[in-house]
Structure formats: C-alpha cells, structure tokens
C-alpha cells in the first residue's frame, strides 16, 4: 500500500496563524512597598500592539 500523503503535504496544511508570541513582564509595587513582577505570554499580530494593551493584576 502506497503512502498517500507526504510530509510536505501535511506541513502545507498547518500554516495556521501568523501571530507572534511575546512574553510581557509588568512590574508593580505591592502594598508592603516591595516590587513584584507579573509575567504573561501574549500572541499579537504586531509588536507595536503591546503598548496599547492593558494588563491588570
């Protein structure tokens, strides 16, 4: 039995999203006065969109 689908055919189908994964780190002061960091991975179309996003604790 011959193979009907090659690896190249499979990879062409899985083009998917063209978004960029970016790790966003936000620093904020806690009630005690110490600095805490919040990390989050975000998928964006363009890196310039990160400045427009609002991240809350």
The reported pLDDT for the residue numbered 9 is 76
Written as six digits, the tokens of 52 are 């427009």
Q: Using alpha carbons, select from 53, 43, 51, 47 the residue that is nearest to residue 21.
A: 43
Whole-number Å distance between alpha carbons of 54 and 45? 16
Q: Using alpha carbons, select from 52, 54, 57 the residue that is nearest to residue 39.
A: 57
Per-block average pLDDT, block size 10, for the chain (57 residues)?
Answer: 76 72 91 94 86 78
The reported pLDDT for the residue numbered 29 is 94
The reported pLDDT for the residue numbered 16 is 64
The reported pLDDT for the residue numbered 32 is 95
The reported pLDDT for the residue numbered 1 is 64
Q: Using alpha carbons, select from 15, 23, 20 the residue that is nearest to residue 41.
A: 23
* pTM tops 0.75, yes or no: no
């Amino acid at each position: 039995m011959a193979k009907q689908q090659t690896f190249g055919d499979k990879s062409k189908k899985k083009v998917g999203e063209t978004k960029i994964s970016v790790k966003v780190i936000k620093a904020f002061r806690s009630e005690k006065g110490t600095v805490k960091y919040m990390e989050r991975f975000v998928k964006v179309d363009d890196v310039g969109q990160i400045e427009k996003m609002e991240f809350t604790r």
